[in-house]
Amino acid sequence: MTMSRIEDIRAELLKEASAIATVAENLDQEQLDKAFAYLSNCQGKVVVCGIGKSGIIARKISATLASTGTSSIFLHAAEGNHGDLGMLAKQDVVLAISNSGNVHEMLAIIPFIKFMGVPLISLTGNLDSQLAKASDAVLCTKVDPDLEPLGLVPTASTTVALALGDALAIALLKDKHFSLTDFARFHPGGAIGKRLLLKVNDLMHSGKELPRVQTDTSMSDAILEMTTKKLGCTIVEDAGGQMRGIITDGDLRRQLQKKGDALLKHVAQDCMTVDPKHTLADELAVSALKYMEQHSITMLPVLDSQGKAAGILHMHDLIRAGVV
């Protein structure tokens, strides 16, 4: 890529950033208050409407609203004239996006919106447009034509509309006290959902998969248990089932250097790490991950409320689950 093309790209980014900053500075406080009140008090859903490039922006804003606690759907202005207005209910609010504010398909559905008594908020670059005049609240997204290629291609104008839609969504998020946990519930298959919803007991090895020996178990049997269960460690318990320690592959190497061939003459309690770092079964997996990273370990014994071993959590389990 030539230097001139790189400068063109940088210049366009700066133009669009400048357009956003200008619109932010010039927002009408009264209109913004009215628009936010309609959105915040909406008892139904926010119906975000647009066509063409503005329709693409409207669809994205609707998706952002829906994922952050504000019920929302997208309405294509042209399809609204052919049956899709049936999705509109009296408890809804319409958020219409059109830079010119005079798009025929958009104007054609305004009478029905008014008939339904639904509040109409518009994001438009033309305050003299028919859409603006018909709206209950108007948020101006006007940009200097010089910021658009050829004065016609929608770039800065669509960027401004998208940014303003995102800003409204974030303001509503804060107004509703929408938390990360709420966000995770709407994204159970995503990385954020996994990080916030998965618990240690969802991922740990337990039952027959859990390597465990008693304090007086011979080291030969302890090594066999570690080999059989394939987790690179074993829990060491006393006769009452309380965890007393853990033996890891690292412990074996260190003990072998110290004891040599005599290692197999010892029992588990002679070679274990006493009172190892551990976590609880109902702890969030992401918290266990942070704990493992903090102490530079790859596995954690998991205890129940009585201090007995309930499982083993391995770093590989967190990686496979997408928590890392």
Cα dihedral: 180, 183, 185, 187 (round 10):
-120
Say what the pLDDT of residue 312 is.
93
Is residue 217 over pLDDT 70? yes
Burial label, 52 (beta-carbon count in 10 A; 0-12, 13-18, 19+): middle
* Contact between residue 278 and residue 195 where contact means Cβ atoms under 8 Å apart: no
pLDDT level of residue 162 (50, 70, 90 thresholds): very high
Lowest mean pLDDT among 7-11, 142-146, 201-205, 306-310: 142-146
Say what the pLDDT of residue 199 is.
84
Say what the pLDDT of residue 181 is.
60
Is residue 188 over pLDDT 60? no
* Percent of the chain whose pLDDT exceeds 90: 55
Six token digits for residue 73: 């759907």
Q: Where along the chain do its domains lie?
A: 3-178, 200-320
Is residue 192 over pLDDT 80? no
| Domain 200-320 architecture | Roll (3.10)
CA dihedral sign of residues 57, 62, 63, 64: positive
Please identify, in words, the CATH class of the domain defined by 3-178.
alpha beta
- E strand or H helix at 291: helix 285-295
Say what the pLDDT of residue 86 is.
83
Instruction: Output the CA–CA distances (angstroms, integers) from residue 90 to 47, 74, 87, 94, 116, in the order listed.
Output: 11, 16, 10, 10, 6
Domain 3-178 and domain 200-320, same fold? Reply is: no
Instruction: Output the CA–CA distances (angstroms, integers) from residue 113 to 58, 79, 126, in the order listed.
Output: 17, 14, 20
DSSP symbol at 298? S
What is the tens place of the pLDDT at every residue in 220-234? 999 999 999 988 899
What is the tens place of the pLDDT at every residue in 108-151? 999 999 999 999 999 999 999 999 999 999 999 998 877 667 65
> Across-strand partners of 301?
312
What is the tens place of the pLDDT at every residue in 300-310? 999 988 888 99
Model-level pTM?
0.62
Is residue 74 over pLDDT 90? yes
Say what the pLDDT of residue 196 is.
65
> Residue range 246-269: average pLDDT?
89
Pairing type for strands 243-248 and 233-237 reads antiparallel
Instruction: Output the CA–CA distances (angstroms, integers) from residue 271 to 24, 48, 61, 249, 277, in the order listed.
Output: 66, 66, 60, 11, 16
